[in-house]
Structure 1
Amino acid sequence: MEEQKIKKDFKLTLEIVKELWTKTYSTDGKPDWSHILPYYDDDIYFRDSIQEIKGIDEFKKMTERLTKRSKDLNMKLVKVVQNGNDIFLEWEMTISYKKYPSSKLYGLSRLTTNDKGKIIEQRDYYDLWGDIFDNIPYWGKQYRKFMKRKFG
């Protein structure tokens, strides 16, 4: 009798996102992407406010850098919705770097899936400096005043 290998289907759905994304950031404080990386296409395009990455190998390196830099990282999903091939995640992320106190970041991620159901593009939106400065006495107020004066 010949053994058949069963191939696991890694097609991303709204239910899978809700289940797995919170787990990514709650492994004893250290993020672990191993259970969600199979949902990313080899040609993933990732962009956030500080970097642009192309390809799964570079994406994996980015996740490893974040794990190495952070002492503690947790994510709370506030709202998750889907519109066609786009899944939107509104989140609150608490991150603590090795030498600094915890900072809470507020953001949104857009995951776009391809015809295979894998993430082909991820765009993260957040105000990195504003959210970090809000946690530092004096700097937060000064940053917000500057932003309001210069941009609106």
Structure 2
Amino acid sequence: MIDFAEHNSQSTQNSLRLQQFVDFYNALSASNLADLSRLYHQDVVFVDPVHQIKGLQGLQSYFEHAYERLNSCHFTPVQQAGTAEQGFISWRMRLSHPAINKGELFDVEGCSELRWHQDGRIIYHRDYYDLTDMVYRHIPLLGWLTAKVKQKMAQD
């Protein structure tokens, strides 16, 4: 038999954790990267289409580099689901970086898979997004080429 009170409590806790995750990232900047230890466990594993990082120190170094020149970055949650141990959240990221898209704002859609340690901090974080959408389409020749390849694949 399903205990709906327990299910609703877990659902509320998961929603709260995922909202805190989004809020944390929307407040993150080069000046407050030390706060990563409030969100992430010391032994965190972070994976995205470009990196696989083990440990909080490596993650902090990654973000130091990533936020060094970032003009702006904002996440809007789209959908979410999860349990007491893990959560999934799809998002739309709007960002501006001087090395991408001539510094103009652009959007990237993606999803994060999160697993929590017993202490409530994130022990595993994996981001899924289309690297072509984020970077390659903004490089003149590569953008044109990847668009043509996608077009060709859609026809076959």
Query: Does the pair score TM above 0.5?
Result: yes
Give TM class, smaller chain: 0.7 to 0.9
TM-score normalized by structure 1? 0.73
- CA apart distance, 1:75: 1.1
1:47 aligns with 2:47: yes
Percent of pairs with identical residues: 22
Alignment length, in residue pairs?
139
Aligned to 1:97: 97
1:74 aligns with 2:74: yes
Contact 2:36 2:60 in 1 (8 A): no
- CA apart distance, 1:69: 2.6
RMSD between aligned residues:
2.9
Give 1:21's aligned amino acid: V
Q: Which has the higher helix share?
A: 2
- CA apart distance, 1:64: 1.5
- CA apart distance, 1:66: 1.5
Aligned to 2:124: 121
TM-score normalized by structure 2? 0.72
Give 2:49's aligned amino acid: S
Give 1:145's aligned amino acid: K
Q: Which runs of 5+ in 2 are unaligned?
A: 1-12
Aligned to 1:87: 87
- The CA distance in 2 between the partners of 1:61 and 1:135, in whole Å, is 25
